[in-house]
Amino acid sequence: MIISNISTPLLGLVDTAVMGHLDSPQFLGGVAVGGVIFSFIYWGFAFLRMGTTGLTAQAFGKNSPIEMRAILVRALLLGGSIAFLILLLQKPLALTSFWLIQSSPNIEQLGMDYFNIRIWSAPATLCLYAISGWFLGLQNVKVPVAIVVTTNLCNIALDLLFVVYFQLAIQGVALASVISEYLGLLVGLILLTKKWRSYSEKPSWADVFQIAKLKAMLFVNHNLFIRTLCLIFAFVFFTAQSAQLGELILATNTILLNFQMFMAYAMDGFANAAEALTGRAIGSKNKNLLRHSILTAGVWSFAFAIIFSISYFFFGQLIVNLLTDLEPVRVKAAEYLPWLILLPLASFISFVLDGIFIGATFSREMRNTMLFSLLCCFLPAWYFTSALQNHGLWLSLTAFMLARSFSMLVIFKLKFKNLY
């Protein structure tokens, strides 16, 4: 899962690099604004992946094959319906998104060019969430890895083809993403069809539309939806405030956020494993498996956080230099790199506990801790440190990650107090 996950921020690094080597920081800003809008739109529905994993893993632990398959059908139907609404409402979504971010006219136009192409990947993206979450809940890592690696390697190759060779600039980045998502969906559907045909028993529509099961899925998913919207809002707010500080700061923060995203996706490999194993352990009431899964995920997450902090300390500026030729961006990035060295240690606890809570379907607790971290820590920290400008912005993000880690740790100790 780590190998699979890091291909996603690697794609972000390639997007940033191909834009960062063009002749203006506006291209970096356009990708940042367009990218953050789709983080809000698509990542907001990541409950299709997380909720499906937790519910499927618990059904797997209970050895309920019909329910496992019914969960997939429900998730695909929900994902397809949401994708249809996104495409139907794309114009008001675009107008509202760009009004909220309020970037410069040039960057807004570039971001709009990106949006108008990228929006058409909605059906592929949301259906892939459901398929990947279902296979992960079945303890099958190979299929999600195959989907993600196929999607992102194709995206990287098409980025280079469209931007470097055909000179399509920001439209090329968006087009590469759309084509790659559908190629990933094709791989997912082929592997899903093969798996589905192997089952002798398949769920009926009565199994799929059980009221109690639908309510349980909606309860888990709506809490995860609120939780994820809060997380996305923090990064959208961060990007919007970066834009208010000027094109140079926006370009610099776009570069540096790739460090955090790369670390987060890599650490999510342990969280993904914890999701599947925790759900299975709870479904089968296997206390030893639950204890072992939590300990192993926690220890390895801590070790990787230290490795990332050390790597950013020694090689951070080298990575920045590889991502952009723009000397003003390189100089500014050096000023804010210390925050990226601190962030892995501030955030690793929240990443691994996300996985444990998803597997246990503690979606309400995930929602509450995220609301606390955003409303009581991130926004007040930004308000009281706004005089520090970009340093205040990075301080607020660090406080947000620390608040997530410690509030989730408190809930974890209460919920699992009988485990040790």
**pLDDT, tens digit, 9 for 90 and up, residues 338-394:** 999 999 999 999 999 999 998 888 989 999 999 999 999 999 999 999 999 999 999
Domain limits for position 255: 2-415
| Closest of 31, 1, 10 to residue 243, by C-alpha | 31
pLDDT at residue 323 in the model: 80
Residue 341's CB is within 10 A of a number of other CB atoms, namely 17
Mean pLDDT estimate for the chain: 86
Distance CA 199, CA 110 (A): 48
Asked whether residue 110 is domain-assigned, the answer is: yes
- Residue 203's pLDDT band (boundaries 50, 70, 90)? confident
Q: What is the number of domains present in the chain?
A: 1
Could you tell me the CA-to-CA distances from 99 to 94, 119, 393 in Å, in that order?
8, 17, 21
User: Average pLDDT in the 209-218 region?
Assistant: 80
Distance CA 226, CA 21 (A): 37
**pLDDT, tens digit, 9 for 90 and up, residues 70-120:** 999 999 999 999 999 999 998 988 888 778 766 677 777 877 888 888 889
Asked whether residue 12 is domain-assigned, the answer is: yes
Beta carbons of 341 and 316 less than 8 angstroms apart: yes
Asked whether residue 288 is domain-assigned, the answer is: yes
**pLDDT, tens digit, 9 for 90 and up, residues 185-195:** 999 999 999 88
Please check the confidence at residue 196 and state whether its pLDDT lies above 90. Answer: no
Which one-letter amino acid corresponds to residue 100? Answer: L
Beta carbons of 249 and 57 less than 8 angstroms apart: no
Asked whether residue 78 is domain-assigned, the answer is: yes
Asked whether residue 215 is domain-assigned, the answer is: yes
User: Average pLDDT in the 399-412 region?
Assistant: 96
Determine the straight-line distance between the first and last CA of the chain, rounded to whole angstroms: 27
Beta carbons of 305 and 348 less than 8 angstroms apart: yes
**pLDDT, tens digit, 9 for 90 and up, residues 147-158:** 988 888 888 889
- Residue 213's pLDDT band (boundaries 50, 70, 90)? confident
Beta carbons of 221 and 365 less than 8 angstroms apart: no
Percent of the chain whose predicted confidence (pLDDT) is above 90: 39
Asked whether residue 420 is domain-assigned, the answer is: no
Extract the tokens encoding 256. 């540096």
Asked whether residue 164 is domain-assigned, the answer is: yes
Asked whether residue 254 is domain-assigned, the answer is: yes
